Amino acid sequence: MDRIIIRGGAPLTGTIPISGAKNAALPLMTTSLLTRDTLELSNVPRLADVQLLLRILGNHGVDHTIVGRRAGESSESGQTLRLQASNVIDTTAPYELVSRMRASFWVIAPLLARFGEARVSLPGGCAIGTRPVDLLIDALQALGAEIEIDAGYVVARARDGLRGARIDFPKVTVSGTHVAMMAAALARGESVIENAAREPEIVDVADCLNKMGAKITGAGSARIVIEGVTSLHGANHAVLPDRIETGTYAMAVAMAGGDVMLENTSADLLRAPLDALRRAGAEVSETNTGIRVRRNGGALAPVDIDTAPFPGFATDLQAQFMALMTRADGVSHIRETIFENRFMHVQELARLGARIRLDGDLAIVEGVPQLRGAPVMATDLRASVSLVIAALVADGETTINRVYHLDRGFEALESKLVRCGAQVERVRA
Ligand code: UD1
């Protein structure tokens, strides 16, 4: 298994191009199942999760091509995928594939809406606490699906098609909102999603669905209205920038010091995390093409945060912010309100010398003057990148094991950091 070795101490200076958002690319790719025409997606990041979803879609009979590079595109420009689901041969998504990535469960919605049936494995355990799919199933039932659990599979049927309904989510769920929106796009009549997730990735998927002929209004607010249509057609769509990657590099600069332009992204995607960074002492400014982050010396101030659904502080940036706070001049409180058990990075950060105490959903972080390099283990996607951030300032060398977690979600992580002066090296297994 590959390892990443980081020698701490170098500030970051230069430009980092931000990739397309993983969490939009995955549901966008899934929407290709809703039409027999070609869906062309550009700015798709080159990530292990994207490859895995291509395999899953391929298993249903979706053809894909990766379009060659065009004039003006660098090797860092995202890839363009063409997906065509004109010949779906199988509406079953097997355990071997779904268990490797939770978001692949979401194929249940387009398969059910277009073909009247789907048999999709329950996703199974996940490293960040219990992540059930009950609300997704409730939403599909509200739209008229008959659901049965059979040998670890969710079997969904709607022989006469889905029908519009009111779906009132008892808690904000990104997965539930995606699934409800995709399914309702082809349902008969009007659907209303109440307490919908407002994440930018929901808006991006709604935009793409509308280009495909869907009639969706209100995405980005807590109430989404969907007028069902009988069929959808092909479209071209560019994936929006990755706000989690943006925030991660912004925190890396705040930690290591320096001056970096984050290109092809927008501050509108992450106001709360940028605000927390400013309070911690980083200078953050917006330009036409991105965000500039600077910190030149000076202590980091402790900042308290609670994670929350968008537009609050993203849970996917909690571990990275905690890494930053391990070096703050004082005590900070970080509360995780979205997922249970999303503190696995704490024990690894402690190996680098961080002082963090856990009390239920609260982490109390006492800043220390220095971290020291050590061997550590990547436990999940966002946790592992928090170790990278800590390692950028740790004395000596940090070896991060199990970096396949990073490859799931961060495109070209080492080269993006190395071009800004960090000492990062991948050792291939
Ligand atoms: C998505 C993101 C993930 C991010 C999360 C929260 C993708 C591919 N993943 O995950 O990176 O951390 O949003 O912003 O986009 N819940 C239930 N029942 C359900 C569904 C969810 O109880 O049926 C709970 C979850 O356990 C969690 C909360 O609702 O506590 C939010 O989950 P959700 O917003 O659905 O997260 P994901 O869509 O899985």
CB-CB contact of 32 with 57 (8 Å): yes
**Residue 223: in which H helix or E strand, if any?**
strand 223-227
Which tens digits make up the pLDDT trace of 224-262? Answer: 999 999 999 999 999 999 999 999 999 999 999 999 999
Instruction: Give the pLDDT score at 60.
Output: 97
Q: Which atom of ligand 1 is nearest to the CA of 138?
A: 23
Which tens digits make up the pLDDT trace of 205-234? Answer: 999 999 999 999 999 999 999 999 999 999
Which tens digits make up the pLDDT trace of 344-363? Answer: 999 999 999 999 999 999 99
Residues identified as active-site: 126
Instruction: Give the pLDDT score at 429.
Output: 82
Instruction: Give the pLDDT score at 383.
Output: 86
* C-alpha R_g of the chain: 22
Give the residue, out of 138, 338, 384, with the most ligand 1 atoms within 8 A of its beta carbon, to mutate for a pocket test: 338
Neighbours of 358 (CB within 10 A): 12
Residue spans in the chain of domains classed CATH 3.65.10.10: 3-18+241-427, 22-233
Token reading at 197: 């997730």
274: three-class secondary structure by DSSP: helix
- CATH of segment(s) 3-18+241-427: 3.65.10.10
Which tens digits make up the pLDDT trace of 94-148? Answer: 999 998 898 999 999 999 999 999 999 998 654 545 568 999 999 999 999 999 9
CA-closest residue to ligand 1 atom 13: 174
Q: 326: CA distance to ligand 1 center in Å?
A: 27
Instruction: Give the pLDDT score at 77.
Output: 74
Q: Which atom of ligand 1 is nearest to the CA of 382?
A: 11
Instruction: Give the pLDDT score at 128.
Output: 47
CA-closest residue to ligand 1 atom 38: 175
Which tens digits make up the pLDDT trace of 286-305? Answer: 999 999 999 998 899 999 99
Q: 309: CA distance to ligand 1 center in Å?
A: 10
Q: 321: CA distance to ligand 1 center in Å?
A: 20
Give the residue, out of 173, 182, 315, with the most ligand 1 atoms within 8 A of its beta carbon, to mutate for a pocket test: 173
Which tens digits make up the pLDDT trace of 32-88? Answer: 999 999 999 999 999 999 999 999 999 999 999 999 877 777 767 789 999 999 999
Where does the pLDDT of residue 404 fall: very low under 50, low under 70, confident under 90, or very high at 90 and above? confident
Q: 74: CA distance to ligand 1 center in Å?
A: 34
Token reading at 18: 């931000």
260: three-class secondary structure by DSSP: strand
CB-CB contact of 315 with 338 (8 Å): yes
Token reading at 164: 């519009």
Give percent helix, percent strand, percent coil of the chain, each to the nearest 5. Answer: 35, 30, 40
Q: For residues 424 and 397, give the distance between their C-alpha atoms in angstroms, rounded to a whole number.
A: 10
Q: For residues 206 and 181, give the distance between their C-alpha atoms in angstroms, rounded to a whole number.
A: 8
Q: Which atom of ligand 1 is nearest to the CA of 340?
A: 30
CB within 8 A of 223, min separation 6: which ones? 192, 193, 194, 196
**Mean pLDDT, range 165-189, rounded to an integer:** 98
197: three-class secondary structure by DSSP: coil
Say what percent of the chain tops pLDDT 70: 98
CATH class of the region 22-233: alpha beta
Give the residue, out of 122, 131, 195, with the most ligand 1 atoms within 8 A of its beta carbon, to mutate for a pocket test: 131
**Mean pLDDT, range 326-333, rounded to an integer:** 98
Instruction: Give the pLDDT score at 130.
Output: 58
Check whether 340 has a pLDDT greater than 70. yes
Tell me if the bond preceding 311 is cis, omega within 30° of 0. Answer: yes
Token reading at 40: 């062309």
What residues flank ligand 1, with Cβ below 6 Å? 23, 26, 102-103, 131-136, 171, 173-176, 197, 315-316, 338-339
